[in-house]
Structure formats: C-alpha cells, structure tokens
Amino acid sequence: MVRGQIVGRDMAFAGLLAPAGEQHVDAVRLAGDARVDPLQLVTREQTEALLEVALRHPIRTVVSALGSPPKETVERLHGLGIKVGALAGKTEHALRHKAARVDFVVAQGMEAGGHTGKVTLIILWPHMIDAVAPLPVLAAGGVGRGRQMAAALALGAEGVWCGSIWLGTRESELNPALRRRLFAAGSEHTVQSRLRPGKPARVLRSKLSDAWERPDAPPFAPMPYQTMLMVEPQLRVERGEDEQWQYYRSVRSSATCTPKPVAARSSTT
C-alpha cells in the first residue's frame, strides 16, 4: 500500500504542479463520502476560516505555529483583547515575530514534537531570549517535568510551552493504537522527518516513516504537496489499526506515560 503511494509520488506531484486550468486536482477523500480540494487544506483562506471558529469561543490567546501572523490579524486580535504568540525554531524567525508585534514568542528546540528546527533547546532558548528581549519568551521542546521547567526559567524564559504532554490525557485526540504506542515509546523512539508536512517535524518512528527513508524512496515534496500526498496513506493506516504503521507528531516525555485528565496533568506536572 505505502510502497504504491510513494512510487507514484513523482507523477502525482508533476500533475499538481501543472499550471492552473491545464490540470484539475482531484478531490481527496477525507472521511466517508466527504471530499475536499487538497489545495484548500493549507491556504490562508482556510486558516482565516478556522480563526473565525475560534473567535466564537471565549479564547484569550492565539498562537501561530508556522510563520509570523499577518499584521492585520494581530491588530484585530489585540483589538479584541486577545494575546498573540508565535512559535520559532530559529532566532531569525523570532525576530520576524517580534516585528509582527506579537505579545510573546515560543522558543521551540529541535527536541520538540511536530515542526522543529535544527538547534537544540539548551542553545536556542538563551540565544532567542536575548535576541528578542524584552519580549517574553516561553521555552518548548520536550518539557514534561518540573526540573525541565526550572531549567527553562534559569535560562531566562518567562515560562514553558507544552505540547506532547497533552497527548497523554484522556481528552486527547489519539486513537487507542496511537495511545498505546505513545505510552510504550522511549525517548529514542522519535525521528525528525518530512513525511507528513514536507517540513521537518519530530514524529513517533513507525514503518511508515521508515518507508520514506529507504534508499529507493522518492524525495519529499515541498509543503503543501507532501501533506496532500499523505492524506490517503494516513487514512489507510488508521483504518488498518496496525500500531507499527501509525505515527504522530510527538516527542516522548516521561510525563506522558500514563493517561490522566487534563486537569490532573496540569496540577501534577
């Protein structure tokens, strides 16, 4: 299954790059009979639509995970009394965020789950903190224990930003197979890969991530085409419920080893 998907990647990618009007991109099945144009999965229009959904709730903060938020968005959110933050894996990205007038920056070391850069947290945190001062910086990258929080504060961070730790809660979106894999994984069971987004991201290692690292595998497509390419393989893996093929954007922290409610996790970390 996966082999067939990645072997056909070059032809599919060539079709997607054809000029508008010359090549129609078939809709990708997301669930059941629902179909959506994959080119609409990562557009600014879709992002703005998701923001409108968020604004229908009593939120206090909006954080951009990829890139600096647009100036008009920052101004609008500030006008609503909402704080704006942005994640950064490089100091140059943090400086762009500061120029966009965000309220805080999240310094995300390469140890973090999901999209990451190449700089380790012990080097990145103090460098970024000094570069954007006096803008507050939250430290991120596998933080799951009080000692790690203390280290972040000692390096000058105003606090910490946690992601993977919430995957171990009962309220998380993980299916049972992924949850078992997360709890069984050790700190060495993650890899940086471009298999899902086309950009480097730390994920739980699986047979699917290994397939993309084979010598005969095609190169990764740039974002957003890699994301579009991976929709169907991901759905097939989930339907097959084979734990060894499933992956998720995560870093294994000792605090994720047992399922707890969010409230309990927040009070005991």
Q: How many CB atoms lie within 10 A of CB 154?
A: 10
Residue 98, helix vs strand vs coil: helix
Instruction: Give the Cα separation of 179 and 168 in Å (integer).
Output: 7
CB–CB of 184/206 below 8 Å? no
Please report the pLDDT score of residue 41 as a whole number: 52
Please report the pLDDT score of residue 267 as a whole number: 52
Laid out side by side, the sheet with 114-115 consists of 114-115, 201-204, 190-193
Please report the pLDDT score of residue 197 as a whole number: 77
What letter does residue 260 receive in the DSSP assignment?
A: B
CB–CB of 25/236 below 8 Å? no
Digitized pLDDT (tens) for each residue of the chain, 269 residues in all: 444 444 444 444 334 333 333 333 333 333 333 444 444 456 778 888 889 999 999 999 999 988 899 999 999 999 999 999 999 999 999 999 999 999 999 999 988 877 788 889 999 999 999 999 999 999 998 888 899 999 999 999 999 999 888 887 888 877 777 787 778 777 788 888 888 778 888 888 888 889 888 999 889 888 878 888 888 887 888 787 777 887 777 665 544 545 555 555 555 55
Per-residue HEC secondary structure of 36-79 comes to ECHHHCCCHHHHHHHHHHHHCCCCCEEEECCCCCCHHHHHHHHH
Cis peptide before 197 (omega within 30 of 0): no
Residue 239, helix vs strand vs coil: helix
Instruction: Give the Cα separation of 230 and 13 in Å (integer).
Output: 12
Residues 6+ apart with CB under 8 A from 91: 124, 127, 128, 131, 132
| Helices and strands of the chain, counted as H and E runs | 12, 10
Please report the pLDDT score of residue 92 as a whole number: 96
